[in-house]
Amino acid sequence: MKIDDFSPAVARDGNFNFAYLDERTKRMIRRAILKAVAVPGYQVPFGSREMPLPYGWGTGGIQVTASIIGPEDVLKVIDQGADDTVNAVNIRRFFQRTTGVEVTTHTTAATIIQTRHRIPETPLAAGQILVYQVPMPEPLQKLEPREAETRSLHGLAEYGLMHVKLYEDIVRFGHVATTYDYPVMVDGRYLMAPSPIPKFDNPKMSMNAALQLFGAGREKRIYAVPPWTRVESLAFEDHPFEIQRWSEPCALCGDTASFLDEVITDDVGGRMFVCSDTDHCLAHRPAHD
Q: Which residues are catalytic?
A: 41, 250, 253, 275, 281
Task: Check residue 174 and report its DSSP letter.
Answer: S
Under 8 Å between Cβ of 134 and 60: yes
CB nearer to another protein: give 26 or 280.
26
State the nearest-atom distance from the C-beta of 159 to another protein, in Å. 14
Nearest-Å Rg of the Cα atoms of the chain is: 19
State the nearest-atom distance from the C-beta of 286 to another protein, in Å. 13
Under 8 Å between Cβ of 132 and 215: yes
To the nearest 10°, report the CA torsion of 21, 22, 27, 30: 10
Torsion sign, CA atoms 166, 172, 174, 179: negative
- Among 118, 127, 120, 65, smallest CA distance to 96 is for 65
CB nearer to another protein: give 181 or 255.
181
Torsion sign, CA atoms 196, 197, 203, 206: negative
Q: What does the alpha-carbon distance between residue 59 and residue 45 come to, in Å, rounded to a whole number?
A: 15
CB nearer to another protein: give 49 or 239.
49
CB nearer to another protein: give 163 or 271.
271
State the nearest-atom distance from the C-beta of 108 to another protein, in Å. 19
Task: Check residue 214 and report its DSSP letter.
Answer: E
The strand pairing partners of 131, in sequence order, are 114, 213
State the nearest-atom distance from the C-beta of 89 to another protein, in Å. 4
State the nearest-atom distance from the C-beta of 85 to another protein, in Å. 5
Alpha helices in 13-84 (DSSP H): 23-38, 59-68
